[in-house]
Amino acid sequence: MIEMYLYDDDESAQVQFVGFVGEESRYDLMMIQTDRHYGKTIVLNMQNNRYGLVGTDDLEEEGYIAYALGVSEAEGEEITEYLQQVIQ
């Protein structure tokens, strides 16, 4: 039996699905933007079900996208290049 909820909130969200092909691979991403995560976007790699909270500061951190989304460094660089265009 549940004795106490930590939170149970409804939140409006903007969801974007994008698929693109780079030099390294094909990518299928889902991006979820809400007010809940301090302006960061939830980016989901739909090919392997890995995700990360991504803000502009995270895009500058070397290797973060590759680690969070479970891809190689080269693939992470391609995804980072795309995300720099859409996350502001």
Report the number of distinct structural domains present in the chain.
1
pTM for the full predicted model: 0.90
Residue 71 belongs to domain spanning:
14-86
Residue 7 falls within a domain, yes or no? Answer: no
The confidence score (pLDDT) of residue 51 equals 97
6 SS3 class: coil
**In the predicted structure, residue 88 carries a pLDDT above the cut 90:** no
**In the predicted structure, residue 4 carries a pLDDT above the cut 90:** no
| CA 9 – CA 80 distance, rounded (Å) | 30
Task: Give 15-45 pLDDT, tens digit per residue.
Answer: 999 999 999 999 999 999 998 888 899 999 9
The confidence score (pLDDT) of residue 63 equals 96
CB atoms within 10 A of CB 17: 10
| CA 18 – CA 23 distance, rounded (Å) | 16
Task: Give 67-81 pLDDT, tens digit per residue.
Answer: 999 999 999 999 999
